[in-house]
Amino acid sequence: MSDIEFRHAVRDALDEELARDESVIFFGEDIAAAGGVFAVTTGLYEKHGPDRVFDTAISELAISGAAFGSAVAGLRPVVEVMFGDFLLLALDSLINQSAKYWYLSNEQASVPLVLRSAVGGGGRFGAIHSQMPITWLLGVPGIKIVCPSTPGDAKALLKAAIRDDNPVVFLEHKRLYSIKGPVTEEVAEIGKASVVREGSDVTIVSAMKGVHDCLAAAEILAAQGVQAEVIDLRTLRPLDTDTVLTSTKKTNRILVVEEGPETGGWAGEILACVVDQALEHLDDAWRLATPDRPVPYSPPLEDAFYPDAQKIADSVLGRMTQGEPLIAGAAR
């Protein structure tokens, strides 16, 4: 089993699903002849032809509208919105048509579409090209949100998303495109988290690039005698709360690390779920997120903006030594 880059895992999933199912089509801005702005989709246009892989006009609403129309007409479209920040322009069709059509049609017509987009900061793209659009979509019934952190999951979850009969928003962190890892022919289960490191002292939960930061933080903590269990959520809608709760019952502490604004984020949703369960021996639960401010462009300011491995480790050590009360305010 050879290691491949995250971007190539995404491309391979698209390639294999286009070959497997003639109803799969793929379109978006600069995804065909140019191969995508992040070089993710190179070669697909040449292999599968202009009827299956094609460029569109610069209109995200037109892309999402065409995805909805082709999906209800019997195709399985995969579309790309170049940056997650531009999803705002596509939300009317995505939310008011695609997400609700199964319900409005009295469960007679599904909308099997996948909307891919590059998200996240740390790449010096500035405030309008570094956002995390998850909170814009988290409260919308009818949409699944998939957020892989490894090449293996990128391929396995994208194949699952393309085969799913519901609208799936598939988010790819820009800082992960070049990481390498093993892939298989597995088709993953959407909505299933993964325990990527075993531990007994604290549960740390994250997604996408945050998982790698949490694993690095766990190494720092291990040197201090603290064994952290790290959970990769993999999917943010639906959330695998069972895996989170099972781990939290074991460690009695949970930290949720989110790349995104503290207010209204999915980290708060997970903590609310933990509190709802009223775990008997829960010692502490808190979150570490980005400030409620736009993403800075300045490299030193952007680096300080995100919860990196050292900040995560310091947060855990601080909470465990200070004995702060249960469900105290978010770490800052």
Please tell me which residue in 8, 48, 129, 173 is annotated as part of the active site: 129
Positions of E strands within the chain? 3-5, 24-28, 53-55, 76-83, 114-119, 144-146, 168-173, 180-182, 194-197, 202-206, 228-232, 235-237, 253-261, 284-290
What sign has the CA pseudo-torsion 170, 171, 174, 176? negative
Across the chain, which distance is largest between two alpha carbons, in Å? 62
Neighbours of 108 (CB within 10 A): 8
Give dist(CA 53, CA 32) in Å, integer: 6
d(CA 31, CA 155): 18
Q: Is 48 a catalytic residue?
A: no
Total residue length of the chain: 332
Spatial distance between the Cα atoms of 280 and 298, rounded to a whole number of angstroms: 45
What is the C-alpha separation between 15 and 286, in angstroms, rounded?
Answer: 41
229 is catalytic: no
The answer, yes or no, to whether the previous bond of 238 is cis (omega within 30 of 0) is yes
Instruction: Write the burial class of residue 241 (CB in 10 Å: 0-12 exposed, 13-18 middle, 19+ buried).
Output: middle
Q: Rounded to an integer, what is the distance from CA 258 to the centroid of its chain?
A: 11
Active site residue: 5, 60, 258, 269, which one? 60
Q: Which residues are catalytic?
A: 60, 129
